[in-house]
Amino acid sequence: MSAKFITLEGGEGVGKTTQIAAVCEFLEQRGIACVATREPGGTPVGEQIRGVLLGNHVIAPETELLLLFAARAQHLQEVIRPALAKGHWVVCDRFTDASFAYQGGGRGVAEGMIEALQAQVQAGLQPALTLLLDAPVEIGLARAKRRGPADRFEQETVAFFQRVRAAYLARAERWPGRMRVIDASGTPEQVKAGVISELERFCP
Ligand SMILES: Nc1ncnc2c1ncn2[C@@H]1O[C@H](COP(=O)(O)OP(=O)(O)OP(=O)(O)O)[C@@H](O)[C@H]1O
Ligand SMILES: [Mg+2]
């Protein structure tokens, strides 16, 4: 099978960063080389942009979107495309579905602007599989809160995160083949079982 690009998506605290290890472990057990990475970030300049995005700045929604795509352009060029070209699978903690959910659904940026950036920056590259970890907003926020101080996104209102969640679920309904919804409200082991069962369907 050719190298695949897999993304993990979902709102704050649903367990993306926790479950990425399970995805790589599953692939490596099948002898598949796996590069785990994240957005925003994944490159030195992308991590600097992440710092700006998560810091306590006032950032206009369109600026936020452009910064995310600036980091994404660098990430694609420096990490994602070269890894796929070498035959390594890439597993990314958040990608463009997050821009549609957060900047589109959450902040109300026009979908057309996000689609235009997606077309230019990704030039047709899409994840082959997106695991959408889904849980009620309050559950994810409580987990994120236990983890440590809130970043710029985590300080948003519950209503904001409800819009983010609804936007993610609407995308999953629109692309049921690529996007698989996993119940992330249970224990880490239960969520991992959901992740593994989708991976088994994807690469039996
Ligand atoms: N299923 C779970 N049940 C309870 N706690 C969990 C579960 N999964 C992860 N956690 C814990 O909740 C916190 C958030 O998890 P994690 O960082 O993996 O979420 P995330 O989706 O990456 O969040 P963010 O969107 O903020 O990056 C962590 O402290 C983690 O240890
Ligand atoms: Mg995370």
CATH code at position 70: 3.40.50.300
Q: Please list the ranges in the chain whose pLDDT falls under 50.
A: none
In order of 32, 45, 97, 180, the CA distances from 164 in angstroms are: 33, 26, 10, 17
Its sign, for the CA torsion 58, 62, 63, 65, is positive
**pLDDT computed for residue 1 by the predictor:** 79
**pLDDT computed for residue 148 by the predictor:** 86
Q: How many domains would you assign to the chain?
A: 1
C-alpha to C-alpha distance for 3 and 48, rounded to whole angstroms: 28
Range of the domain at 80: 5-202
Q: Is the CB of 92 under 6 A from ligand 1?
A: no
Q: Is the CB of 43 under 6 A from ligand 1?
A: no
Q: For ligand 1, pick from 9, 17, 131 the residue to mutate: most ligand atoms within 8 Å of CB.
A: 17
Kindly state the tokens that stand for 48.
């600097």
Q: Are 39 and 79 a contacting pair, CB within 8 Å?
A: no
Kindly state the tokens that stand for 76.
């694609």
**pLDDT computed for residue 161 by the predictor:** 98
C-alpha to C-alpha distance for 72 and 7, rounded to whole angstroms: 13
CA of residue 12 to ligand 1 center, whole Å: 8
